[in-house]
A and B are shown apart, each in its own frame.
Chain A
Amino acid sequence: MIDSIRTWWRSPLRCALLVFFVLGSRGAEAQLQVDITSGVSVPIPLAIEDLAADPQASAEVIRQDLARSGRFIVGLRTAADYLVTGRASAGVDGRTTIDFELLNLLNGQRLLVERVTSPPTAWRNAAHRISDRIYQKIIGARSAFATRIAYVSVDGQPPSQRYQLIVADADGENARVVLQSRLPLMSPTWSPDGESIAYVSFETRAAAIYVQKVRTAERRRVSGRPGVNNAPAWSPDGRKLALTLSSGSGNLDVHVLELDTGVLTRITDHPAIDTEPVWSVDGSQIYFTSDRAGGPQVYRAEPIAGARPQRITFVGNYNARPRVSPDGKQLAFVTREGGAYRIALQDLGNGVVRVLSKGPQDESPAFSPDGGTLIYAARERGQRVLGTVSADGLILQRLKADRGEVREPAWGPFLP
């Protein structure tokens, strides 16, 4: 079962399988299993004791989170620089309270003394929040353990595939199917408030874009024009979708749809393929893919009619599917190197491009909300899996389904 241990050529890596586990299979949905394929060279030793009186395995969730981050090595107290201890207690209202402490064993300092309260059903989320607090305190940067991802699972052989849109915790747990279809589902993307997912469904044998509430499964078709309806992208304020339409003519252009009013504005007007829009962090620009120069490249335009696009990518002859980092400073996209498709990161300030992933067919990059990690679709030994890579390129993970194939990941925002 130990596979895909990779080395990363750019840095002296301690390339170890730090953790490996199989997530329990609960239902018909494909469950993900996670393994680290490489981590940082000097991970921080950390011990997490079982929480006293904990009816759940909260400590184990915290251990898995921090070990899989690649920044820590989780082990015995005697070898650790930091120690987490805690106690669970049940309140009269049925909620569970966890009091925990983070100790610096090197100087005896108490770094955190905190309490997390949650309904018993949300115990995993509570544990992820504790992981986020510990990570923040020690590393000094935000993490995204208590967030969710969405992805598409494909089961069965052609022509009898079954497509499922799945929402799961960021660690792959709590996976649940929010929609399934005999016809393709693609391009899931979270609304900025984390309440809704926009996606493309071909369920009527024509493409249409839907917006679906994650909690209630209530959904609305927001675009079902003749031809292509694809690549929805939420504006930062959540009120608009950028999307790709062909309006029956076969010419794909980027449009902006106001969700409340239905007002549609055509942003690009060019016989090339213009698609894969995504908004800049402040909403003042839309990045998109266009093959107006021959092969696909990333461009940027104001989200207004008659905008004049400006080319952004210049290295190589295939750069597609841009995504802007949460701090607005980096652009992730798919680049072709030789015959391989990989995830690359371009500094929007100085234009320097770094290729982060190593697979033959990496695609569909998406940033974690903290910006520290990218999730993407990959092919490994003939199977479609999800990969993550830290934005510094040091930490690589694989998320595989226990059956079927997984693709088109989207990382949800921080939850309030």
Chain B
Amino acid sequence: MRHIAAILLILGLLAACKSAPPPASESAGELAPRADASAIAQPDDSAGTVSAGEVGNDAESTVVLPPELQGRTVIYFAFDSDSISAEDQELVAAHARFMSGKAGVRLRLEGHTDERGSPEYNIGLGERRAQAVRRALGLQGVADSRVATVSYGEERPAASGDNEDAYSRNRRVELVYLGG
């Protein structure tokens, strides 16, 4: 019976993915560190074969969103701006209502910029966007303690390319739910 429930859950998630891909789904693949990670060459040693540790995977729990929020977990921004549009203020309010009914749910806000400008300075701009969404959620009653922020700056674009279409899709804050 548990297996059937699990399969149904997976099928449900897959269906949700088709209609509305969650913004931060990661495939688990590489694990850290590889067994040969210690085989590091001397700096001047051209013959040494070298391999690296691999990091950067953590499986996350998935919070199933109500239909009206599925596929609506990204807020976009204008160039060099951290202001949330009136329409997106409504979206933030809807997320705040969802959180108020789900005490165990937490949120991670992932701030991003387009690729123009200095990468480290862009970390600051991405953080500013994430904090803008955090403040908007706070005004809707979501406690700061339930919201973490991370700024990826320009390091993790949603779209590749050096054109305005890609830029506008990359200037964003992704809302990633945790817990359940």
Contacts and interface: CB of A to CB of B under 8 A. Distances in A.
B145 to A, nearest CB: 10
Interface of A: 27, 118-125, 148, 157-165, 167, 173-174, 176-184, 186-187, 194, 201-207, 214-217, 219, 226-228, 230-231, 244, 246, 248, 250, 252, 273, 275-276, 289, 291, 296, 318, 320-321, 334, 336, 341, 360-361, 363-364, 379, 382, 407-408, 415
B150 A207 contact: yes
A181 B119 contact: no
A112 to B, nearest CB: 21
In the complex, the 9 A-B pairs of residues with the closest C-beta atoms, listed nearest first: A181-B56, A273-B124, A250-B131, A184-B155, A122-B44, A176-B50, A203-B56, A125-B44, A203-B55
B55 A180 contact: yes
B71 interface: no
A231 B26 CA distance: 26
Interface stretch (B7-15, B89-97, B156-164): B156-164
A360 B162 CA distance: 10
Interface in B30-87: 30, 32-33, 37-38, 40-58, 60
By CB atoms of chain A within 10 A, which of B29, B47, B49 has the most? B47
A163 B56 CA distance: 10
Contacts of A276: 118, 120-121
B50 to A, nearest CB: 4
A215 B32 CA distance: 18
Nearest to A146: B44
20 contacts: A158-B156, A158-B159, A159-B25, A159-B26, A165-B52, A204-B58, A205-B60, A205-B108, A217-B52, A227-B151, A228-B124, A248-B149, A250-B127, A252-B127, A289-B121, A318-B117, A321-B118, A321-B120, A363-B117, A379-B115
B44 A118 contact: yes
A121 B40 contact: no
A321 B154 CA distance: 15
Nearest to A415: B43
A158 B74 CA distance: 15
Contacts of B134: 250
Contact of A124 (B25, B46, B131): B46
Contact of A178 (B52, B121, B156): B52
A202 B123 CA distance: 12
Given A118-B44, A246-B127, A275-B121, 19 more contacts: A27-B49, A121-B47, A123-B46, A125-B43, A157-B160, A160-B27, A177-B52, A179-B54, A180-B56, A181-B55, A183-B56, A201-B55, A216-B38, A252-B127, A273-B121, A275-B120, A289-B118, A318-B117, A321-B118
B21 to A, nearest CB: 9
Contacts of B106: none
Given A273-B124, A275-B121, A321-B121, A184 B46 contact: no
A108 B156 CA distance: 59
Interface of B: 24-27, 29-30, 32-33, 37-38, 40-58, 60, 108, 115-121, 123-125, 127-128, 130-131, 134, 148-153, 155-162
Nearest to A166: B52
B40 A273 contact: no
A334 B124 contact: no
Contacts of A318: 117
A202 B155 contact: yes
Contacts of A275: 120-121, 123-124
B10 to A, nearest CB: 20
B121 A205 contact: no
A70 B120 CA distance: 31
Contact of A217 (B25, B30, B37): B37
A414 to B, nearest CB: 12
B56 A202 contact: yes
B107 to A, nearest CB: 13
A157 B27 CA distance: 13
Nearest to B32: A203
B119 A187 contact: yes
A260 to B, nearest CB: 24
Contacts of B57: 182, 203
A215 B117 CA distance: 33
A180 B108 contact: no
B30 A183 contact: no
B56 A182 contact: yes
Contact of A205 (B33, B38, B49, B150): B150
Nearest to A274: B124
A217 B115 CA distance: 30
Given A201-B56, A250-B131, A289-B121, A186 B45 contact: no
Nearest to B123: A230
A179 B55 contact: yes
Contact of A180 (B40, B54, B120, B128): B54
A384 to B, nearest CB: 9
Contacts of A244: 120, 123-124
Nearest to B27: A160
B162 A273 contact: no
Contacts of A184: 152, 155-156
Interface centre among A27, A121, A159, A161, by most chain B C-beta atoms within 10 angstroms, is: A159
Contacts of B48: 121
